Amino acid sequence: MEMITIWKQPNSHLLMNKNRISFLLSVICFALTQVTNAQLAFSGWSNNYTSINSFQGKTVTDAMAVRFTYSGTNLNESNWKVSVSVQNAIMSTDGSAQFPADKIVFIPLNTSGQAQPKAIPTVQEIGMPASVPLSGGSEVYLVPRSNAPLYNVSSYNSYYDLQLHYNLQIMPGAYLKDLQGGYTQKTYILALTFRAYGDNNKMLGSYQQTYQIDVFNLIDTYTEDNLYSIVISGQAQNGFLELKTLADYANGAKAVYSNGLIVSSNMGYQVSVRSVASQFTSSNGSTLPLNSVKMQLVPTGSNTASTGTIDLSNVAQIISVGSSTNKTPAYYDIQYWTKPSDQQLIEADMAEYSTTLLYEITPK
């Protein structure tokens, strides 16, 4: 998942900012609560435990929830986001094996709670990624940047409750062979930190959870399936495209993120991208059409995949087609640019505009 922001300022200054991509995952945990901002609190809970006895892995339904609560008359927190990170390596309690963090995936299930005067936002209205895998000690975003505010406004003191419910998936695969127990299970303790941020990355709250995963002696035989992965790396997670001179407006501006996209596959694949929202939007309600920005993936190194140029859209478009990488990484530069003398940008209101992009890899 990737966030793109456009920011127009005085003196013919236009800014496009913040690209973030994610994929896969869920995990289940136990929660502490931290009150952050007067009457706004951030907390969570989980079912605390799951067990694995098959190469097929496991998906635990409604395994974990993240929660915002508030009591008062005027809550309006826009552009909020939620992250999760692994505190330390996920080692077995006997120290003999390490569980790979990226095989644990958060998958949004639904939202619940209450608000005044409107209903709480849905998974789609918030713009939650379809799956988010953990990534070692790095923060990954369960909500990269919400399209719906934390909102509760009334003439009397009222209660707000927004809960984000997740399934937890332990990915299938041959990797489980080295994690299994024998006569007794191997136990892995997953320690997580959850953080909530408001506009301009101000901290709204954080809490820690632990979750236990037991891997028993696997009862089946592993047969290799179609395996593929996709990752946005490095500065591509916080991209920046800036138009700050008359020449930028006249000729267009461009940003390139070297090796920003990494894929691997044991079969032919295709990569597509779409915007979650139907247009770029700003915090003050101004909008810009998605086709204000063009993009392309450029294969690097030994990558022989074919690619094409597109205008951004909220309809999924194929941007690369490749053959098997034999499960080794294949790299792409990500390029974004604006068109020369684009009147939509020249005449745009001064504001910060953003949308979220979803990259997907599927079999060819």
Q: Who contacts 95 (Cβ-Cβ below 8 Å, separation ≥6)?
A: none
For residue 270, what are the contacts with CB-CB under 8 A and spacing of at least 6? Answer: 318, 320, 321, 322, 361, 362, 363, 364
First to last CA, the chain: 21
**What's the pLDDT at 227?**
76
Buried b (16+ CB within 10 A) or exposed e, 59-78: bbeebbbbbbbbebeebebe
Residue 278 CA to residue 251 CA, distance in Å, equals 26
Gap between the Cα atoms of 11 and 220, Å rounded: 66
For residues 216 and 182, what is the distance between their CA atoms, to the nearest angstrom?
7
Print pLDDT tens along the chain (364 aa).
555 555 544 433 333 333 322 212 122 222 223 333 448 999 999 999 999 999 999 999 999 999 999 999 999 999 999 999 999 999 999 999 999 998 999 999 999 999 999 999 999 899 898 888 898 878 999 998 899 999 999 999 899 999 999 999 999 888 999 999 988 899 999 999 999 999 888 999 999 999 999 999 999 887 666 778 888 877 777 667 777 888 888 999 898 999 989 999 988 999 999 888 888 887 788 888 999 999 999 999 999 999 999 999 988 899 999 999 988 899 999 999 999 999 988 888 877 777 778 889 888 8
Topology given in CATH for the domain delimited by 228-363: Immunoglobulin-like (2.60.40)
* Domain at 41-215: CATH code: 2.60.40
Comparing CA positions, the residue from 121, 139, 122, 142 lying closest to residue 131 is 142
> What sections of 59-152 are H helices per DSSP?
123-126
pLDDT at 1: 58
Find the helix or strand (DSSP H, E) in which 80 lies: none
pLDDT at 280: 83
Q: What angle do CA 269, 270, 274 make, to 5 degrees?
A: 150
Q: Alpha-carbon distance 340 to 343, whole Å?
A: 9
What's the pLDDT at 363? 86
- The pLDDT of residue 35 is 32
Question: Can you tell me the distance from the alpha carbon of 359 to that of 334, in angstroms, rounded to the nearest whole number?
Answer: 12
For residue 37, the model assigns a pLDDT of 41
- CA angle, residues 178, 179, 184, in degrees to nearest 5: 120
The pLDDT, as a whole number, for residue 319 is 96
pLDDT at 224: 65
How many angstroms separate the CA atoms of 109 and 123, rounded?
A: 8
Please state the pTM of the whole predicted model: 0.63
Residues of the chain with CATH 2.60.40: 41-215, 228-363
Q: Give the per-residue pLDDT at 13.
A: 30
Collapsing DSSP to helix, strand or coil, 31 comes out as coil
